[in-house]
Amino acid sequence: MAQGEKQRSVLRINLDILNAVRDEGEAKPTHILYRANLSHERLVRYLDDLTGKGLIEMKQEGENRTYRITSKGVGFLIEMRRAESFVQGFGMAI
Amino acid sequence: MASGALFTFFLNILSALVALLTSYYAYKAHRFIPNSLLWAISIGFMLLGLGLIVDAGTSLVTGRTLVESFSDRVLTLLASLSFLTIQMVAYLIMAVGYARAAFGNQAKTAAAPLALAGSALAGLYGYSILSYFVTFVLLAFIVFQGVLLRSGDKRGLSGMVLLAFALVFVAHLVFLVSVLVLGSGLFLIGTVVQFLGFLSLLIFVVRSEVVGPR
């Protein structure tokens, strides 16, 4: 397990992944892995979960696999940012 | 109608709308971030909003007419009792939510004994004093927990929420004094201070909604 991962909630990890994918445009798993600070095995699980929910989509070209955020994913990030701002107002963190 | 009663009515209605709006946004945030404090904030502010509407209605009726008939007096008494009880329960729920957020689940009953004592007294005047006192203590507890939580993480707009609760706390101190000395002028000041607290909350809600993606 990567250092610091233990303290992060599943929601926080998902947000880190989504932010990484959005910022990269077409994100390679290694880039997401670096940005989200996860082990490869766990990253695959999270990516599958986010793909299944329609928040990101996978593009396979030969050996290369990239991920891109969907419009649903962008909407989710905006709503999450608002919710995060709201909970921070009451002294909480995700 | 007495202008003071109309003024109180409008301030209470505006405060109620802000409370209901805060409740809605807390509910919305709870759908994304399941958290017991958010649930407590949502339920607490919903009750508070409904209570303030009842209080606004009472101030309108008592300000417009001379409450002389027995049935009118009973109705006014019941409305006042409802508002005081709803308000106390609302702040109790929020205080428990804050206690759980600050200390974990073992502290969930930390604020409960304060409110349970409220059912012991009979009579509206005694009940008013006690309920305002209990609400005042609960608000002091909420402000204290808010300071504790904010000291750990000063990001975001938490200062505005803390200011809102602090102003409502001061307002209830004024309400308590006004009930003790039977001063209607003080009660009006308390209503204005409480409204300023809800105004601070409204600014927070609006600002938390306009944040875009990072």
Q: What is the pLDDT at residue A3?
A: 41
> Does residue B105 carry a pLDDT above 60?
no
Nearest by CB: A90 against B32, B41, B148:
B41
Report pLDDT digits (tens) over B61-83: 776 555 556 666 677 777 778 88
Q: Does domain B3-209 have CATH number 1.20.1070?
A: yes
Taking only the tens place, the pLDDT of each residue in A28-71 is 888 888 888 888 888 999 999 999 999 999 988 888 889 999 99
**Binning pLDDT at 50, 70 and 90, where does residue A92 land?**
confident
Which of A12-16, A37-41, B22-26, B86-90 has maximum average pLDDT? Answer: B22-26
Amino acid B56: pLDDT: 86
Give the per-residue pLDDT at A6.
45
What pLDDT score was predicted for residue B122?
47
- Using the beta-carbon criterion (under 8 Å), do B161 and A91 form an inter-chain contact? yes
Q: What is the pLDDT of residue B172?
A: 86
pLDDT of residue A1: 40
Please state which CATH number belongs to domain A5-89.
Answer: 1.10.10.10
Q: Give the model's pLDDT for residue B152.
A: 65
What is the three-state SS of chain B?
Answer: CCHHHHHHHHHHHHHHHHHHHHHHHHHHHHHHCCCHHHHHHHHHHHHHHHHHHHHHHHHHHHHHCCCCCHHHHHHHHHHHHHHHHHHHHHHHHHHHHHHHHHHCHHHCCCCHHHHHHHHHCCCHHHHHHHHHHHHHHHHHHHHHHHHHHHHHCCCCCHHHHHHHHHHHHHHHHHHHHHHHHCCHHHHHHHHHHHHHHHHHHHHHHHHHHCCCCC
CB of B29 within 8 Å of any CB in chain A? Answer: yes
Residue A35: strand, helix, or coil:
helix
Give the C-alpha separation, A79 to B208, whole Å.
Answer: 11
Q: Residue A67 has what pLDDT?
A: 92
pLDDT tens-place string over residues B180-210: 776 667 888 888 999 999 999 899 888 888 7
Rounded CA separation B176/B30 (Å): 33
Greater confidence, A35 or B108?
A35
Is A61 strand, coil or helix?
strand
pLDDT, tens digit (0-9, with 9 covering 90-100), for B11-64? 989 999 999 999 999 999 888 888 888 899 999 999 999 999 988 888 777 765
Task: Dump pLDDT digits (tens) for B112-167.
Answer: 555 554 444 445 666 677 777 888 888 888 888 777 777 766 666 778 888 888 99
Which chain B residues touch A93 with a CB distance below 8 Å? 153, 155
Q: What is the pLDDT of residue B120?
A: 45
**DSSP 8-class letter at A27:** B
Which of the residues B42, B202, B208, B211 would you substitute to probe the A interface, choosing the one with the greatest number of A C-beta atoms within 10 Å? Answer: B208
* Chain A residues whose beta carbon lies within 8 Å of the beta carbon of residue B29: 82-83, 86-87
Q: Are A92 and B150 a contacting pair at CB < 8 A?
A: no
Confidence of residue B212 (pLDDT cuts 50, 70, 90): low
In chain A, what are the domain boundaries?
A: 5-89
